[in-house]
Amino acid sequence: MYSVAIIDDEPLIVEGLSKTMAWEKWDCQVIGTACDGTEGMALVREKKPDIVITDINMPKMDGLKMTAGLKSEFTDMQLIILTGYREFEYARQAIELGVSRFLLKPSKMNELEEAIETVTGRLDRLRHPVPAPMPEETEQAMPEDTAENPEENSEANSFIVKNALEYIRENSQEKLRLSDVADQVYVSQWHLSKLLNKHTGKNFSDLLNGARMDRSKELLKDPALRICDVAEIVGFQDLAHFSRVFKKLEGMSAGEYRNTHWGTEQ
């Protein structure tokens, strides 16, 4: 039996989907509902449903980031977007990120049923894959639907990494933790760490320090700022730590960097 989670901030939608759909027809069962993005992600992490039906324009949620996070971390999970948000570009991006169906409210019952039919069919094929063709049959084999055979959801992964790096850059001066960034892109710490390492070749600490160094090099242009001031502004608790990181990444001390590039004495 396939498990279904429904996430929507309209109680009537949640109740209607839960009670009026003939879930048993598709061997499905609603295992939980949520009324905003925060509750929705908690529900998904706890229950790990096979199918998620969700709005993308709700309180406490960035719909595209949530979509990317779910498809990246839960590869086989089927997402059905049910929304009143009619922006075409938004829909296009959601589909590129791995959404199975994008439906506009109010949706007709036959549209919902077709969506459920489609995603349960995909789940069936994922659970019971067709044997690979014999060598002589390979040339005539049709290419399979990539949505049914997701290897890595590269579009979603790239979207997550892009947003994570942007958040790190914009907040590098804060006492930032990996968990803070993971919350912003709707994935677990472990999954984000894996994605960052794969896409950048660096761990979170290196990326954070790199962002801080980029900012510090800009600040070193200002002769009115002491190096200890720069260290504090970019997020280091003490000058010694800043100095060690700066020399490790730049190959020279902050003072040497300032004198070499700007000719400013300390």
What are the pLDDT digits (tens) for 167-208? 999 999 999 999 999 988 888 899 999 999 999 999 999 999
179-to-109, 164, 168 alpha-carbon distances in Å: 40, 11, 12
Pick the CATH number of 2-127 from 3.40.190.10, 3.30.70.20, 3.40.50.720, 3.40.50.2300: 3.40.50.2300
Pick the CATH number of 210-266 from 1.10.10.60, 2.60.120.620, 3.30.70.580, 1.25.40.10: 1.10.10.60
Mean pLDDT of 245-263: 88
Which residues make beta-bridge pairs with 81? Answer: 54, 102
Which residues make beta-bridge pairs with 32? Answer: 5
258-to-14, 162, 216, 223 alpha-carbon distances in Å: 60, 30, 10, 9
Q: 88 burial class (0-12, 13-18, 19+ CB within 10 angstroms)?
A: exposed
What are the pLDDT digits (tens) for 24-81? 999 999 999 998 888 888 899 999 999 999 988 887 778 788 888 888 989 899 999 9
DSSP structural state of residue 51: E
